[in-house]
Structure 1
Amino acid sequence: MKKNAKGVLLCLLIAVPAWFLGTLFPVVGGPVFAILIGMAVTLVLKDKKEVQPGIGFTSKKILQYAVILLGFGLNLTDILIKGKQSLPIIISTISTSLIIAALMFALMKMPYKISALVGVGSSICGGSAIAAAAPVVGADDEEIAQSISVIFLFNIAAALIFPTLGHLLGLSNEGFGLFAGTAINDTSSVTAAASAWDGIHGSNTLQAATIVKLTRTLAIIPVSLMLAFIRVKTEKNKDTANIQFKQIFPVFILFFILASVITTVFNLPAFVTSPLKNLSKFFIVMAMAAIGLNTNIIRLIKTGGKPILMGFCCWVGITCVSLGMQYILGIW
């Protein structure tokens, strides 16, 4: 604790204003503000020797704690009952994003870790999915920051464009709830888009869109395990590799599942789960502050072109498949 205290405190001091800015501007969100403030602070903080251990602890361990606490927001019974209609669309959109990311990784010779994070973040649930996948693939802070930045860009675009697009396409209220929940990757942007739709149409799609989004969150489990297997297989093909699956097995995912099971079995009420979900979100903001502190903004900008293109292709692919599946299933 003594070794980490100063760095954790610095991340906390950045996270608090970032959190409040995120509540004022939910389309941007606290994690993005935290990364930006962290990158600004690191430009003037030349000697980080005393705070670096705590920054590292926050960007790794607290990020994993955030994923575990996220499980308390998932009542599996509610998700299975209310989210089953969206399951074919969710599976299709997640598969589409991961396939596009894999193809672009091969064709554009992009770094594997960024490709994996952008693909996972686009397909599942933005920052939370990146938080879960990052330690599994061994991503560093700059790779995490770059992936979060790409996701943020298309979150804003979706929140602004999708309500108008859904109206022009003649989507029903049910159809837009499915569209927002399956084609927008971050909860804050899903909420923003669904709220805008409700304001225009006087409907109540926000709850439906949120349930669909929570159903997508469960994909963190199989995708994280898949990435762990891929990493082991890749490393074994290298001469210097000596990595074993048990070394990189995402143990925190087991606690994420346990938290979800506890919420389901004991049917925890909202007054219990709500603070835990908020703490999860705040821990993510803290971790993003640490990641910002470890990120070189100039290098991030210089190397951002290909990840942005990948994010755009994943976003377009998910949007088209979400709408196409609704049309095939007769929901539109």
Structure 2
Amino acid sequence: MLIFDRIKLLLPGLALTAVISLVAQIGEKVELSLFGHPWIEGLVLAILLGTAWRSILGLPDKFDAGVNFSAKTILEVAIVLLGASISIEALAGAGFYLVGGIALVVCLSLAVSYIIGRALGLPAKLAILVACGNSICGNSAIAATAPVIDADAQDVAASIAFTAVLGVVFVLILPFLQHALGMSATQYGVFAGLTVYAVPQVLAATAPAGLVATQIGTLVKLVRVLMLGPVICVLGLGARRQMARRDAARIKSDVGMPAGAGAAAMMMVNGGDIAVADDRFGGGVQAVKAGRGAGLPISKVLPWFIVGFLAMMALSSMGMLPDAAVIPMQHISSILTVMAMAALGLSVDVRSVMNAGGRVVFAAKLSLICLSLAAFGLLAVLQIA
């Protein structure tokens, strides 16, 4: 009975995303028949239709479960299936240097974005959230980072609100940028993978440039996503140390330790545990646990769909997936991705950006410009054609 209840809960949202995705695909075919080329791809059209629906008609609560399922689970399945059409040889030309370059761009973007945020007067935690969202994977990075640095709900809401809208706007601009700059499919795929916030947005941005751009863009983006793990670990260690110092200072203040030699004190920090011993209290020890919550489940660092994508890609590279299976997987992945794009659009409330604050907006824009310049620099250094 629980299964039927679950289906009943998901059905309204699933039906809505399916209808919007169908309209988007029909719209693409109409464009093709009228102009000989779709000016707005089905993926992008699905995002626009979903965003327009929510902005004009709203989204009642009964649709939430199905829309969230489409935006998350259906998209994850689509990404896994996409791995079947990608071979490791797709990046063989650049190989190790491209992977190293991606890591360098992410680290550089994190540092520059944080500096920009702080220079504009953003609180440290909000600046970190904006930097992680801009540099790694948008809302997912923000959501994963927030509990590690103990960010306030307001900071999380502000950073996510603008990241969602800016990400969609950037996806709409990128295809025109490719034509304006005369970028090849490979160059465009690498550039989109380096600059677009989320995996689904990479799919939407690269679809107009063809399969090669989509494959390379997705692969580059997933390498970028894998940077989330090391970044979270570093932030977690930093948060634990900061909490340890703060708690140690508070304990010293509570104990009232004098500056003179009358009290010999010892502070021990081990794995986030702080102990202060004071000889005036007979060597009594007060201990405070610090850094709770800084840990993160492995599923947050390495989601199942990335593992599935890499597994599919490995099987494809070894020739273990027959063409009879790969081609249907590609079609199913495309259909599911359009559904996920519709759900993504339905999840974006354009009006929420008004509450994000001018400094957050400006910081995110400047950070994205810097990230784009770094991506262009990597293309030039690696001479990707």
Give the TM-score category using the shorter length. 0.5 to 0.7
Match of 1:153 in 2: 169
- Identical positions, percent: 20
Structure 2 length-normalised TM: 0.59
Match of 1:169 in 2: none
Q: What do the CA deviations read for 1:235-262 (whole angstroms, capped 9, x no partner)? A: 7677895464227532333223222222
* Uncovered stretches (5+) of structure 1, i.e. residues with no partner: 122-129, 167-174, 196-205
Q: What do the CA deviations read for 1:121-144 (whole angstroms, capped 9, x no partner)? A: 5xxxxxxxx586576457999966
Match of 1:279 in 2: 332
Counterpart selection for 1:261 from 292, 298, 314 = 314
Match of 2:190 in 1: 182
SS at match of 1:184: helix
**1:62: Cα distance to partner?**
2.6
**1:316: Cα distance to partner?**
3.8
CA distance in 1, matches of 2:207, 2:129: 29
Match of 2:69 in 1: 57
Aligned pair count reads 303
SS at match of 1:268: coil
**1:298: Cα distance to partner?**
1.7
Match of 1:82 in 2: 93
Counterpart selection for 1:2 from 4, 8, 12 = 8
Does residue 1:289 correspond to 2:293, yes or no? no
SS at match of 1:50: helix
Q: 1:331 to 1:303 in 2, by over 3 A?
A: closer
**1:294: Cα distance to partner?**
4.3
**1:102: Cα distance to partner?**
3.5
Higher strand content, 1 or 2: 2
CA contact (8 A) 1:7 1:52 kept: yes
Match of 1:213 in 2: 217
Structure 1 length-normalised TM: 0.67
Q: 1:222 to 1:42 in 2, by over 3 A?
A: closer
Q: 1:330 to 1:307 in 2, by over 3 A?
A: same
| AA partner of residue 151 (structure 1) | G
**1:5: Cα distance to partner?**
1.7
| AA partner of residue 73 (structure 2) | K
| AA partner of residue 149 (structure 1) | V
* Uncovered stretches (5+) of structure 2, i.e. residues with no partner: 1-6, 32-36, 147-152, 194-201, 244-289
What pairs up with 1:20-169 in 2 under 5 angstroms? 20-21=26-27, 24=31, 29-42=41-54, 48-76=60-88, 78-84=89-95, 87=98, 89-108=101-120, 109=122, 110=126, 112-113=128-129, 115-121=131-137, 130=138, 133=141, 136-137=144-145, 146-166=162-182
CA distance in 1, matches of 2:384, 2:364: 27
Q: What do the CA deviations read for 1:79-132 (whole angstroms, capped 9, x no partner)? A: 3533428616544444444443333344442465554333225xxxxxxxx586
Counterpart selection for 1:246 from 290, 293, 297 = 297
SS at match of 2:60: coil
